[in-house]
A and B are shown apart, each in its own frame.
Chain A
Amino acid sequence: MKKVLAMLLVLAMVCGMLVGCSSGTKETTDGGTGAAPTKAADNTEEPTNPAENAKEDTITLMVPPVSATYLEKVRVWADEFHQLYPNLTIEIIETSWDDHAEKLSTMALAGEAPDIAEVSYSMIGTYAELGVGINILDYMDEAALADFDKNALDYMSLEGKTYGLPLYLSIQAIGGNKEMLEEAGVDVLDVQQNGWTFEEFKTAIANGTKDNRFGFVFATSAVTASDMLNIFGISAGLNNAFTPELKYAYTSSNMLTFLQAIEEISASGYMPNYGVDASQRMVMCQTGNAMIFGKAMPLFEGNINKNNAALEAKDGTAVEGSIPVQYAYLPIPTMNGITESCFGTVDGLMAFRNTKTTDEHLANVMLAMNYLCSGKIAADVASELYLDAVCESGRAVIGDYLVEGRDENNLASASRQMGLVVAPPTGLTADMSSKAATLMEQVIAPKLQALLAGEVTAQAMYDEICKAAYKEFGQENCVSGAIQ
Chain B
Amino acid sequence: MTKKQENKTKRKRSWIKADDISGYLFISVAMIIFAAFTVYPVFSAIRTSFVEYKPFGSEFVGFENYIETFTNALFYKSVKNTIVYTVVVVPLSLVIAFSIAVMVMAFRKRTQSIFKAIYYLPGIASGVALSVVWLWLYDSSPSGLFNRILSFFGLSTQNWLNSSKTSMLSLIIMALASSQGSSIIIYVAALLGIDNSTFEAAELDGASFMQKIRYIVIPLVKPSTLFLFVTGIIGSFQVFMNAYMMTGGGPDNNTTMIGLLIFNNAFVYSKYGLACAQAIVLAIIIAAISFVQFKLMGVDVEY
Answer yes or no: A and B touching, Cβ < 8 Å: yes
Within 8 A of B (CB), among A209-226: 220-223, 225
User: How far does the alpha carbon of A105 sit from the alpha carbon of B58 in the complex, in Å?
Assistant: 16
Q: A101-B267, A106-B267, A449-B252 are in contact. Are A14 and B29 (CB under 8 A)?
A: yes
11 intermolecular pairs with C-beta atoms under 8 Å apart: A14-B29, A31-B57, A220-B162, A221-B162, A273-B159, A275-B159, A276-B141, A280-B139, A437-B269, A446-B253, A456-B252
- Other-chain contact of B74, A220, A272, A274, A442 (Cβ < 8 Å): A442
Contacts of A272 in B (CB 8 A): 141
In the assembled complex, the CB of B131 is this many whole angstroms from the nearest CB of chain A, namely 11
User: How far does the alpha carbon of A77 sit from the alpha carbon of B269 in the complex, in Å?
Assistant: 32
Q: Give the interface segment out of B86-94, B96-104, B114-122, B241-249.
A: B241-249
Q: A442-B74, A446-B252, A447-B252 are in contact. Are A108 and B141 (CB under 8 A)?
A: no
Q: Are B141 and A11 in contact (CB under 8 A)?
A: no
**Does A441 count as interface, using CB distance less than 8 angstroms?**
yes
In the assembled complex, the CB of A444 is this many whole angstroms from the nearest CB of chain B, namely 11
Q: Are B251 and A277 in contact (CB under 8 A)?
A: no
* Interface mask (B34-73 → A, CB under 8 Å = 1, otherwise 0): 0010000000000000000111111000000000000000
Query: 6 additional contacts, CB 8 Å, given A437-B269, A455-B164, A455-B252?
Result: A21-B36, A222-B162, A280-B139, A446-B253, A447-B252, A455-B165
Contacts of B266 in A (CB 8 A): 105, 109
In the assembled complex, the CB of B126 is this many whole angstroms from the nearest CB of chain A, namely 13
Q: Are A126 and B56 in contact (CB under 8 A)?
A: no
**Does A299 count as interface, using CB distance less than 8 angstroms?**
no
- Other-chain contact of A446, B135, B159, B161, B249 (Cβ < 8 Å): B249
Q: A108-B55, A127-B270, A222-B250 are in contact. Are A274 and B162 (CB under 8 A)?
A: yes
Contacts of A7 in B (CB 8 A): 29
Q: Are A129 and B270 in contact (CB under 8 A)?
A: yes
Contacts of B264 in A (CB 8 A): 441
Q: Are B157 and A277 in contact (CB under 8 A)?
A: no
- Interface-centre pick from A130, A449, A450 (highest chain B CB count, 10 A): A449
User: How far does the alpha carbon of A275 sit from the alpha carbon of B159 in the complex, in Å?
Assistant: 7
Q: Are B33 and A453 in contact (CB under 8 A)?
A: no
Contacts of A127 in B (CB 8 A): 270
Interface residues of A, dominant DSSP: helix
Q: Are A31 and B56 in contact (CB under 8 A)?
A: yes
- Other-chain contact of A11, B29, B157, B249 (Cβ < 8 Å): B29
In the assembled complex, the CB of B278 is this many whole angstroms from the nearest CB of chain A, namely 14
**Does B272 count as interface, using CB distance less than 8 angstroms?**
yes
Q: Inter-chain contact count A-B, CB under 8 Å?
A: 116
* Interface mask (B225-259 → A, CB under 8 Å = 1, otherwise 0): 00000000000000000000011111111001000
Q: Are B253 and A131 in contact (CB under 8 A)?
A: no
**Does A17 count as interface, using CB distance less than 8 angstroms?**
yes
**Does B179 count as interface, using CB distance less than 8 angstroms?**
no
User: How far does the alpha carbon of A220 sit from the alpha carbon of B266 in the complex, in Å?
Assistant: 25
- Other-chain contact of A222, B33, B57, B58, B247 (Cβ < 8 Å): B247
- Interface-centre pick from A14, A102, A446 (highest chain B CB count, 10 A): A446
Q: A222-B247, A275-B161, A455-B163 are in contact. Are A450 and B252 (CB under 8 A)?
A: yes
Contacts of B165 in A (CB 8 A): 455
Q: A105-B267, A109-B272, A438-B269 are in contact. Are A131 and B161 (CB under 8 A)?
A: no
- Other-chain contact of A105, B164, B249, B270 (Cβ < 8 Å): B270
**Does B124 count as interface, using CB distance less than 8 angstroms?**
no
**Does A434 count as interface, using CB distance less than 8 angstroms?**
yes
Q: Which residue of A lies closest to B251 (CB)?
A: A449
Contacts of A11 in B (CB 8 A): 29
Q: Which residue of B lies closest to A464 (CB)?
A: B252
Q: Which residue of A lies closest to B158 (CB)?
A: A274
Q: Are B74 and A277 in contact (CB under 8 A)?
A: no
In the assembled complex, the CB of A277 is this many whole angstroms from the nearest CB of chain B, namely 6
Q: A14-B33, A455-B163 are in contact. Are A276 and B248 (CB under 8 A)?
A: no
- Other-chain contact of B270, A109, A276, A446 (Cβ < 8 Å): A109
User: How far does the alpha carbon of A276 sit from the alpha carbon of B161 in the complex, in Å?
Assistant: 10
Within 8 A of A (CB), among B150-167: 157, 159, 161-165
Contacts of B218 in A (CB 8 A): none
User: How far does the alpha carbon of A307 sit from the alpha carbon of B157 in the complex, in Å?
Assistant: 31
Q: Which residue of B lies closest to A280 (CB)?
A: B141
